[in-house]
Amino acid sequence: MPLLKLSSLRGAALLSVLLLSGCSHLGFYAQAVHGHVALMRARVPIDAAIADPAVSSQTKRLLNLAAEARRYAHSSLSLPDNGSYTAWVALDRPAVTWNVVATPAHSLVPERWCFPVAGCLSYRGYFERERAERFAERLAEQGLDVAVNGASAYSSLGWFRDPVVSTMFRGGDVALVGVVFHELAHQQLYVSDDSSFNESFATFVEMAGVERWLSESGRAQRIEPWRRQRARRSEFIDLLTESRQRLSAVYAAGGDTAELDAAKQAELQRLNQAYSELKSSWGGYSGYDGWFARPVNNARLAGVGTYTQWVGAFAELYAQSGQDFARFYDAAAALGSLPPDQRHARLVSLSPSQGL
């Protein structure tokens, strides 16, 4: 996903745009520029890293895989070949950025912050965890629910040659390939002020691309395990979506603060129990235990569905495009150019689940 979409102009032009955007955000933009520049300066060509005897054999294997994914993305998925993911950066931290999400105590509608070029987003991204947590603390002091989420990949939406970063390796081989496809999809198409459109589009390209890559690269035996993993993820998202819908109904019904707090806590307890039951149906698979290791609140549920809300609609659009990626991108771009209300109506009409 695009994690800090501020990198839209070159050099001093970028800096001037950000600094002229308002003194109240000067510190935020300064860290964004500093973090971006530091990341770009740390890039090492993948070919050079692979030839470096100091680089571990496992890292070299993953860099070769990332390079394979980039080539495949261009040759078989018609995604951009613009120099992104031809270099890498070894990070000494567990995430490349940390994104802060905040919602009111009795609402699932996230706060929004607006930036040059990227438009308005439902999070703020920081290169340093401490800065993100300090900002989150200030929001919490205002009575908001907050969440700080580490991100494994970084995107400037194609304005710069984005690197492979070592945090992209943490999910395994197929996940690494999927991230490359997902991020290049954002470079292919990005619609300002519509996170659900952008993330669902990139998620569909990732899913369809990974399945095709597994089939065509001699890894067909891995398709079924990958599908099972995707099915578990879908069930997990459905679980969170149901909880989000139940909480939305509670908040819409209204009531005094004590009543809303009690109903909120009851639903979050129900969610934890429902997850335990779901995990049992998976034979004890614990891949999502980490999500529940931190307290669940509105901010953590706010983004549920952003990455998947319109995947079914894009799958239908892909089918209507004859499963041709280039035609599909043209159709998706035309859809993205519609006014928001018309775009939403069209996505609903394409979705077998009516956008839920």
| Cα–Cα dist 135/273, whole Å | 32
Asked if residue 167 lies in contact with residue 89, where contact means CB atoms within 8 angstroms, the answer is no
Residue 236: partners with Cβ closer than 8 Å, 6 or more residues away: 278, 288, 291
Q: What is the pLDDT of residues 127-155, one digit of tens each?
A: 999 999 999 999 999 999 999 999 999 88
Which range of 14-28, 110-124, 299-313 scores highest in mean pLDDT? It is 299-313
Q: Report the pLDDT value the prediction gives residue 17, as an integer from 0 to 100.
A: 39
- From 16-25, 34-43, 60-69, 256-265, the region with the lowest mean pLDDT: 16-25
Higher pLDDT among residues 305 and 56, named by residue: 56
For strands 44-45 and 145-151, give the pairing: unpaired
Q: Does a structural domain hold residue 198?
A: no
Question: Which amino acid, 246?
Answer: R
Q: Does a structural domain hold residue 123?
A: yes
Judgement on whether residues 153 and 18 belong to the same structural domain of the protein: yes
pLDDT of residue 252 exceeding 90, the answer is: yes
Judgement on whether residues 69 and 148 belong to the same structural domain of the protein: yes
Q: Does a structural domain hold residue 115?
A: yes
Higher pLDDT among residues 10 and 75, named by residue: 75
In terms of Cβ atoms closer than 10 Å to its own Cβ (0-12, 13-18, 19+), residue 82 is middle
The rounded percent of the chain whose pLDDT value lies above 90 is 78
Q: Report the pLDDT value the prediction gives residue 4, as an integer from 0 to 100.
A: 43
Judgement on whether residues 16 and 161 belong to the same structural domain of the protein: yes
pLDDT of residue 2 exceeding 80, the answer is: no
Asked if residue 166 lies in contact with residue 152, where contact means CB atoms within 8 angstroms, the answer is no
What letter would DSSP give residue 121? E
Judgement on whether residues 243 and 165 belong to the same structural domain of the protein: no
- From 3-12, 96-105, 273-282, 334-343, the region with the lowest mean pLDDT: 3-12
Judgement on whether residues 18 and 165 belong to the same structural domain of the protein: yes
Judgement on whether residues 72 and 160 belong to the same structural domain of the protein: yes
Judgement on whether residues 24 and 146 belong to the same structural domain of the protein: yes
**Alpha helical stretches, state H, 254-339:** 257-281, 289-292, 298-302, 311-320, 325-336
Judgement on whether residues 159 and 228 belong to the same structural domain of the protein: no
Judgement on whether residues 15 and 160 belong to the same structural domain of the protein: yes
pLDDT of residue 6 exceeding 50, the answer is: no
Domain total in the chain? 2
Judgement on whether residues 49 and 137 belong to the same structural domain of the protein: yes
Residue 292: partners with Cβ closer than 8 Å, 6 or more residues away: 272, 275
Q: Report the pLDDT value the prediction gives residue 304, as an integer from 0 to 100.
A: 83
pLDDT of residue 10 exceeding 60, the answer is: no
Q: Does a structural domain hold residue 352?
A: no
Q: Does a structural domain hold residue 210?
A: no
Q: Taking residues 111-127, what's their average pLDDT? A: 80
Q: Does a structural domain hold residue 247?
A: yes
> Domain of 72?
11-171
Q: How confident is the model at residue 3 (pLDDT cuts 50, 70, 90)?
A: very low
Owner of token pair 């520049």:
37
Domain stops at, among 171, 192, 210: 171
Judgement on whether residues 118 and 246 belong to the same structural domain of the protein: no
Domain stops at, among 147, 171, 195: 171
In terms of Cβ atoms closer than 10 Å to its own Cβ (0-12, 13-18, 19+), residue 205 is buried
Q: Does a structural domain hold residue 148?
A: yes
Judgement on whether residues 134 and 253 belong to the same structural domain of the protein: no
Q: Report the pLDDT value the prediction gives residue 25, as an integer from 0 to 100.
A: 66
Q: Report the pLDDT value the prediction gives residue 117, as an integer from 0 to 100.
A: 57
Q: What is the pLDDT of residues 61-85, one digit of tens each?
A: 999 999 999 999 999 999 999 999 9
Q: Does a structural domain hold residue 216?
A: no
Q: Report the pLDDT value the prediction gives residue 354, as an integer from 0 to 100.
A: 45
Q: Report the pLDDT value the prediction gives residue 45, as an integer from 0 to 100.
A: 97
